[in-house]
Chains A and B, each alone.
Chain A
Amino acid sequence: MRVALFITCFNDTLFPQAGRATVQLLERLGHTVDFPEEQTCCGQMHFNTGYQREALPLIHRFVQIFSQAEVIVAPSASCVGMVREIYPLAAEWFGDQRLLEEVQALSPRVYELSEFLVYRLGLEDVGAYYPHRVTYHPTCHSLRFLRVGDAPLRLLRAVRGIDLVELPEAEECCGFGGTFAIKNADTSLAMLNDKLRNIMGTRAEVCTAADNSCLMHIGGALHRQRAGVQTVHLAEILAATEGENRA
């Protein structure tokens, strides 16, 4: 299958390793990856913060750039959520019928990585080897907006060598929320504190998730605290094989 990679501005700039891992994984599974280089950003940060008019050109751009792709995959539940759940809303709010039709045609072809692997390709064992103690944080976007269900867990369980430990109060928001972490810093930190406490309690070496946004927030605090616990994106764990076990 030809898969168009939607890298997301966030991963492209700050977490390229998640993109590299996604490419390596998909190629290992026998698919061809395209990277439409014109892509920049889906507009989520702007739209959700209230700058909807400013986001509109970015929405149009995205739709146009990916309109011909057969299948689009992103290592980010929040950005896929933006395209599938918010783009139709944006089209309605701006009364743009043409955009709405384009978005409705595009949506069914856009997948977050774990839902692509499990629900579209029907895979759970992707040939990964990752001998570490890992706990999984279900991000709010993957859990509630995309409803990926237990796809990430099914994939993780099939990873050879992994010691997967359940995260208590997993479904509680980590407190990132985009600009929320800046505008409501103290509340964000109070939420983060509980998430960290739960992660540390699992004695995991690694906390993983489908979104680098949450992981940047969680990992940033873990690093500041010199906790000795790392955050690694799901794609990197799934891409890891023998002789490549880096935490």
Chain B
Amino acid sequence: MSEAPDNPSSKRALPAFPVAASKALENAQLRRNMRKATSTIREKRTRAVAEMPDWEELREAGHRIKENVLRSLDTYLLELEASVQAAGGQVHWARDAQEANDIIGQIATKHAAREVIKVKSLTTDEIRLNSALKARGIEAIETDLAELIIQLAGEGSSHILVPAIHKNRAEIRELFLKKLDVDQLTDEPRDLTNAARSHLRRKFLSTPVAISGTNFAVAETGSVCVVESEGNGRMCLTLPRVLISVMGIEKVIPTWQDLEVFLQLLPRSSTAERMNPYTSIWTGVHPNDGPQEFHLVLLDNGRTRVLADTVGRQALHCIRCSACLNICPVYSRTGGHAYNSVYPGPIGAILTPQLLGLERAGSLPYASSLCGACYDVCPVKINIPQVLISLRGQVVRQKQRSRRLRDRTNPEAIVMRVIARIFANRTRYEQAQHLAQIGQLPIKHGEFIEKLPGELGNWTIMRDMTAVPPQSFRDWWRTHQQEQNRPEDKSE
């Protein structure tokens, strides 16, 4: 993962989405796996949501709570810190990935840990925690089944909720036979799960330090909430002596009461369940019960920069449900690897460029047909299409202000400027229409054009292009008007 393109300590641009997507689309197995997984979960989500008579009100409430939090983020974070400390926990503020990794590494080293167990956490993936710990001689063991699978396979996650969505059970069986301590194994889910369970049980009972992420942190009480399906989280959060939770600063919510909204929105939107099988909420430390040392690491890593963008900041509302991924016609075909980021899909297309900078991820805002399906399903009403358009504007303006002549005079920008000038004047526009009618004659075959020049040729790879008809609407209108205005023939 340390070589992955969206490494926070790198300045390298992510591979361009069109290129990465093109490659991914060729993988027929991936296409099949993605199609099956996303269509199944989509249907389940629709049913789960249809049960809720007040779903739209819940979405609006979730949106407003998050909006409110972002407006007063500083206040809520300070309140959270005070509450956690009052409950016996420790709070650390990490400006970026490196600081967060140093803080966590130091805690683990202080406890002489050679291994730590982990609950699935996108935030820890974002900061490349596992490789940072490895550099300190500490092995981070993923305990979430899908995370375990991709860790054993040495791959990156391709979905924020179902990281191994790109693997089917035959592939997983092969992997377990190779990497786990098993002699034989069928590809029945039960068998596969039991193999993983035995492997993990040994770890849960022997590892003193655990690291988790944070779904929600309540400022009022200092309580931290983690939801999950498998129970590995519960093991990690209760058995070890030391618990470290990493939290993107946008995850704070004001009051305990606010959990009511999010704990209804999240499970139905993500796994399409009425409630997560394991919802764990804890506050600080308690003598002889659970971890005796609790550390909350507050992570910025670009979030305050996102906060400064009045349109883009709504990306920070995200509660990581993945409903947008599952409904996205682009993501459900390309899979997550094509986005080359910890955060793929529609939310990734707006969050990754803002966290990493548009210079690194400028193709992601264009990885969308603006169909709007993501906005419809987002439980906290992030207007993803709106943010995409805003980010596209920033990409264009950056190029226009670039020091590189190549950027300022790129063909697309020139064509767009020319067209805008044409459209700004009726005479020029009508002239352009007539010019097109004539200019296309060499390449027109009947009512269609079979090959367009240059980049427009992308259209005619698989489609014919409608040729410009010999009479525009407005030219027809003028004759139509003349006919209307002719004195009527009275045939009586």
Contacts of A127 in B (CB 8 A): none
Cβ contact within 8 Å between B420 and A58: yes
In whole angstroms, how far apart are the Cα atoms of A219 and B464 in the complex?
8
In whole angstroms, how far apart are the Cα atoms of A179 and B450 in the complex?
19
Does chain B have a CB within 8 A of A161? no
Give chain B interface residues in 441-489, CB to chain A under 8 Å. Answer: 448, 450, 455-456, 458-459, 461-466, 468-469, 471-474, 476-477, 480
| A51 and B416 contact, Cβ closer than 8 Å, known pairs A12-B472, A35-B474 | yes
Nearest CB in chain A: distance from B438 CB, A = 13
Stretch binding the partner chain, chosen from A112-120, A128-136, A169-177, A203-211 = A169-177
Cβ contact within 8 Å between B466 and A54: no
Nearest CB in chain B: distance from A22 CB, A = 9
Cβ contact within 8 Å between A185 and B458: yes
Cβ contact within 8 Å between A19 and B465: no
Cβ contact within 8 Å between A221 and B463: yes
Q: Which of A58, A175, A184, A217 contacts B21 (CB 8 A)?
A: A184
Cβ contact within 8 Å between A185 and B329: no
Q: Which of B389, B424, B459 contacts A181 (CB 8 A)?
A: B459
Contacts of A67 in B (CB 8 A): none
Does chain A have a CB within 8 A of B138? no
Interface hub of B389, B461, B471 (most chain A Cβ within 10 A) = B389
Number of A interface residues at 8 Å Cβ cutoff, please give it: 67
Cβ contact within 8 Å between A172 and B329: yes
Cβ contact within 8 Å between B473 and A50: no
| A50 and B389 contact, Cβ closer than 8 Å, known pairs A19-B473, A177-B369, A190-B333 | yes
Cβ contact within 8 Å between B469 and A188: no
Cβ contact within 8 Å between A189 and B461: yes
Does chain A have a CB within 8 A of B433? yes
| A12 and B473 contact, Cβ closer than 8 Å, known pairs A175-B329, A184-B21, A190-B333 | yes
| A14 and B469 contact, Cβ closer than 8 Å, known pairs A173-B329, A173-B369, A186-B25 | yes
Contacts of A160 in B (CB 8 A): none
Cβ contact within 8 Å between B416 and A191: no
Cβ contact within 8 Å between A140 and B392: no
Contacts of A61 in B (CB 8 A): 424
Cβ contact within 8 Å between B463 and A220: yes
Contacts of A145 in B (CB 8 A): 372
Contacts of B367 in A (CB 8 A): 184, 187
Question: Size band of the B side of the interface?
Answer: 35 or more
Please encode chain A, from 15 to 50, with 1 for each CB lying within 8 Å of some chain B CB and 0 for all others: 111011001000000000001011111010111111
Contacts of B458 in A (CB 8 A): 181-183, 185
Cβ contact within 8 Å between B370 and A177: yes
Please encode chain B, from 358 to 402, with 1 for each CB lying within 8 Å of some chain A CB and 0 for all others: 000000011111111101100000000010011011111100000
Cβ contact within 8 Å between A55 and B420: yes
Contacts of B455 in A (CB 8 A): 182
Nearest CB in chain A: distance from B417 CB, A = 6
Interface hub of B311, B329, B376, B425 (most chain A Cβ within 10 A) = B329
Does chain A have a CB within 8 A of B341? no
Q: Which of B389, B416, B426 contacts A40 (CB 8 A)?
A: B426
Q: Is the interface of B mostly helix, strand, loop or mixed?
A: helix
Cβ contact within 8 Å between B474 and A7: yes
In whole angstroms, how far apart are the Cα atoms of A168 and B413 in the complex?
39
Give chain A interface residues in 93-142, CB to chain B under 8 Å. Answer: 93, 140
Contacts of A20 in B (CB 8 A): 473, 476, 480
| A48 and B389 contact, Cβ closer than 8 Å, known pairs A178-B370, A188-B369, A191-B333 | yes
Nearest CB in chain B: distance from A37 CB, A = 6
| A15 and B395 contact, Cβ closer than 8 Å, known pairs A173-B329, A173-B373, A175-B329 | no
In whole angstroms, how far apart are the Cα atoms of A187 and B368 in the complex?
9
Contacts of B334 in A (CB 8 A): 187
Does chain A have a CB within 8 A of B17? yes
Does chain B have a CB within 8 A of A13? yes
In whole angstroms, how far apart are the Cα atoms of A61 and B463 in the complex?
33
Does chain A have a CB within 8 A of B423? yes
In whole angstroms, how far apart are the Cα atoms of A86 and B423 in the complex?
18
Residue of B nearest to A56 (CB): B420
Cβ contact within 8 Å between B333 and A37: no
Contacts of B376 in A (CB 8 A): 144
Cβ contact within 8 Å between A187 and B477: no
Contacts of A39 in B (CB 8 A): 426
Nearest CB in chain B: distance from A230 CB, A = 11
Please encode chain A, from 43 to 83, with 1 for each CB lying within 8 Å of some chain B CB and 0 for all others: 10111111111110110010000000000000000000000
Q: 6 A-B contacts, Cβ less than 8 Å apart? A: A47-B389, A181-B459, A184-B330, A185-B459, A186-B25, A221-B464
Known A-B contacts: A181-B458, A185-B459. Give 18 more (CB < 8 A): A14-B468, A20-B473, A20-B480, A37-B426, A39-B426, A48-B370, A58-B420, A58-B424, A171-B373, A178-B370, A183-B458, A185-B458, A185-B461, A188-B369, A216-B466, A220-B463, A223-B448, A224-B463
Give the top 3 A-B pairs by smallest Cβ distance, nearest first: A177-B369, A50-B392, A220-B463
